[in-house]
Amino acid sequence: MSRLILIAALLAMPVACATRYGPGWQGSAATPFDTARRDCEAQAVRQMAKMPRDVAFETCMAGQGWRRH
């Protein structure tokens, strides 16, 4: 019984302090997701003349500690 409890406790521990947010995003020591998303959406609009919006958005999110998984 104690072995089962130990296994359950180990499975419940976060792996490398990674945080998953919604479908598709994972961050480690990241800016809070909603803050990063809001900032990066605004930055992506400003960068549209230089690069595609989705590239600018994902680059910004990576800079704030978030990546797609």
Residue 65 banded pLDDT, cuts 50, 70, 90 = very high
In this predicted structure, what is the pLDDT of residue 36?
A: 95
Q: Please state whether the predicted TM-score (pTM) of the whole model is above 0.85.
A: no
| Residue ranges of domains in the chain | 16-68
The burial class, CB within 10 Å (0-12 / 13-18 / 19+), for 21 is middle
In this predicted structure, what is the pLDDT of residue 4?
A: 52
Tokens read off for 1: 């019984």
pLDDT tens for 11-53 read: 444 444 456 566 689 988 789 999 999 999 999 999 989 999 9
Neighbour count for residue 25 (Cβ, 10 Å): 17
Residue 7 banded pLDDT, cuts 50, 70, 90 = low
